Amino acid sequence: MLSGWRLGDLRMQETEKARPTASRFVGQHDTMHDSLAKSTVGLVHLDDFVQKRKAIEEAKAREAARTAELK
């Protein structure tokens, strides 16, 4: 038999699962800083970081140009 606090904990978990999250209503585009932070975790050398940053900047520029063409 489950104790009272354990049963309450299970109910709270189920309630949290059913509740919509705030990220559900937020755009899915990462900022430049977010993308850079996610892709450079664990890098040791500055050259690796510079290469990653350049690639992200180019990808963002291409995406912005493509979006501008659609408008």
Considering its fold, how many domains does the chain have in total?
A: 1
Question: Exposure pattern of 2-29 as b/e (b: 16+ CB <10 Å)?
Answer: eeeeeeeeeeeeeeeeeeeeeeeeeeee
Give the per-residue pLDDT at 35: 84
Pairwise pLDDT comparison (26 vs 58), residue with the higher score = 58
User: Which pLDDT does position 58 carry in this prediction?
Assistant: 93
Return the pLDDT at 7. 63
Domain region containing 41: 4-70
CA angle 22, 26, 30 (to 5 degrees): 120
- Look up residue 63 and give its two tokens: 């995406």
Beta strands in 18-57 (DSSP E): none
Q: What is the pTM assigned to this prediction?
A: 0.52
Provide CB contacts within 8 A for 49, sequence distance 6+. Answer: 40, 43
| pLDDT at residue 29 is higher than 60 | yes
22 confidence band (pLDDT: 50, 70, 90)? low
